[in-house]
Amino acid sequence: MGERRPKFRQVEHTADKAIEAVGGSLGELFENAAYGMFSIIADVEGMEPKSWEEIEVEGAPTVEDMLHDFLNELLFRHEVEGKVYCKFRVLEIDPDLGRLRAKAGYLPLDAVREKVFGYVKAVTYHDLEVRREGGSYKVTVVFDT
């Protein structure tokens, strides 16, 4: 089974960096948004994770809050624990309960330092809106860099 290519693109934004992610499901949208965020930080294309860990979000009042919390948790672990995430799998997502369970594959920062070229300070709420367009979900995420 071939791996699918994440669907996201970097978009122009006045002060910071932004991505527009697309997914056929909410889970795929979250996976692609996470991949897009880490593509601002490092050349993650073609990276294979050495380890996987579970990421959970509980009690998010909206799907936008759930996405924001998911991305912030990944960013926190990147900064504090020195992990560069390169693969994402949403295992469970329930917008009504504000719950997300995902696995994130990573490499230690020291192993891929030469591929790291950017820095994301924070995930913002600026223009953060998950929308349904046709058969897809879309979101634009702006990052403070």
Query: Would you kindly state where each structural domain of the chain is located, as residue ranges?
Result: 8-144
Alpha-carbon gap, residue 103 to 87, rounded angstroms: 8
Q: What are phi and psi of 32, to 5 degrees?
A: -70, -35
The amino acid occupying position 58 is: E
Beta pairing class for 8-11 and 99-108: unpaired
pLDDT digits (tens, 9 = 90+) for 53-110: 999 999 999 999 999 999 999 999 999 999 999 999 999 999 999 999 999 999 999 9
What is the pTM (predicted TM-score) of this model? 0.90
Residue 120 in contact with residue 75, Cβ under 8 Å? yes
Amino acid at 49: P
**CATH (residue range 8-144):** 3.55.10.10
Residue 7 has pLDDT above 80, yes or no: no
Q: What is the pLDDT of residue 14?
A: 62
CB–CB of 51/130 below 8 Å? no
For residue 23, give the 3-state DSSP assignment: strand
Q: Which of 120, 122, 33, 49 is nearest to 84 (CA)?
A: 49
* Beta-carbon contacts of residue 81 (< 8 Å; ≥ 6 apart): none
